[in-house]
């Protein structure tokens, strides 16, 4: 959630749900990463990808809306 701060390392309900879904979808991924990378590297890749997937999802939605607004403005005011 953009601009949200979490106190005392606790996750908000919405974030917890997003992470729970992502973890359920990624079962086995960490095991596969550990087959091809050193354990520390695999853990780092997995953690970064998971965080980017959950936290980045909302930012992409905002970018899509901004692009749609720009496109609508360009169509309404050509040249």
* Residue 41 binned pLDDT confidence (cut-offs 50, 70, 90): very high
C-alpha dihedral (26, 52, 64, 2), degrees to nearest 10 = 120
Q: Is 6 a domain residue?
A: no
Task: Determine what percent of the chain is predicted with pLDDT higher than 70.
Answer: 49
Give the Cα separation of 56 and 8 in Å (integer).
22
Q: Domain range spanning residue 25?
A: 11-76
Section 43-65 average pLDDT: 73
Q: Is 64 a domain residue?
A: yes
* Residue 74 binned pLDDT confidence (cut-offs 50, 70, 90): low
Q: Is 5 a domain residue?
A: no
What pLDDT digit, counting tens, does each position of 7-19 carry? Answer: 555 555 556 678 8
Query: Contact at 8 Å (CB) between 19 and 54?
Result: yes
If one counts the domains in the chain, the total is 1
The model's pTM: 0.50
């Amino acid at each position: 959630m953009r601009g949200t701060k979490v106190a005392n390392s606790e996750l908000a309900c919405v974030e917890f749900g997003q992470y729970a879904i992502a973890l359920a979808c990624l079962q086995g991924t960490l095991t596969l990463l550990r087959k091809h990378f050193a354990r520390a590297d695999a853990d780092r890749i997995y953690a970064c990808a998971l965080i980017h997937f959950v936290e980045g999802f909302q930012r992409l939605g905002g970018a899509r809306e901004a692009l749609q607004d720009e496109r609508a403005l360009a169509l309404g005011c050509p040249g």
